[in-house]
Amino acid sequence: MPPTDGVDTAQRIVSSVDTRILMVTRHARPGVLRRTLCAGVSGFLPKSTPSEKLAQVVRDIAAGKRYVDPEIAASALSGSACPLSDRELDVLRESAQQPTLADVAVALHLAPGTVRNYVSSALAKLHVATRQEAVQRAWDEGWI
């Protein structure tokens, strides 16, 4: 499951059902952690976690505790915050799926010029030259 879909799915579950979620992912990047915690997830582990540790974390979360892998937490605390606005992130997220800016505009119900403005702003903030580089940087950082 792509990380964006996983985080979105977790957020929908948490907002509609009284339950606790442990996210076990191969996308254990600081930005993904931040988004996951904002979505209301109770725990966050990389898939490489040993089974004994996983079992203990599941028990802890079921008991009402929270857990974040210490290495990922340290990376998240030392990393920089996302400089992009929510709308710039929406445009980059959609850009990963759509081949052209016109397609992004249609998908987001925006004017093509508006999409170009959001892309230009994201490029400047990320100090990259192309939309593809911006999408890659946002993905690598876990922002999308």
In the predicted structure, residue 137 carries a pLDDT above the cut 80: yes
Question: How much is the pTM?
Answer: 0.60
In the predicted structure, residue 1 carries a pLDDT above the cut 70: no
pLDDT digits (tens, 9 = 90+) for 41-92: 999 998 999 999 999 999 999 999 999 999 888 877 776 778 999 999 999 9
pLDDT recorded at residue 143:
84
Tokens of 11: 């957020």
* More confident: 27 or 118: 118
pLDDT digits (tens, 9 = 90+) for 9-21: 888 899 999 899 9
In the predicted structure, residue 3 carries a pLDDT above the cut 80: no
DSSP conformation letters of 56-119: HHHHHHHTT--EE-HHHHHHHHHSPPP-S-HHHHHHHHHHTT-SSHHHHHHHHT--HHHHHHHH
Q: How far apart are CA 63 and CA 54, in angstroms?
A: 14
* More confident: 84 or 32: 84
CATH topology (fold) of 86-141: Arc Repressor Mutant, subunit A (1.10.10)
Q: How far apart are CA 39 and CA 128, in angstroms?
A: 29
Q: How far apart are CA 130 and CA 121, in angstroms?
A: 11
Average pLDDT, the chain: 89
The domain 3-78: what is its CATH number?
Answer: 3.40.50.2300
List the domain boundaries for the chain.
Answer: 3-78, 86-141
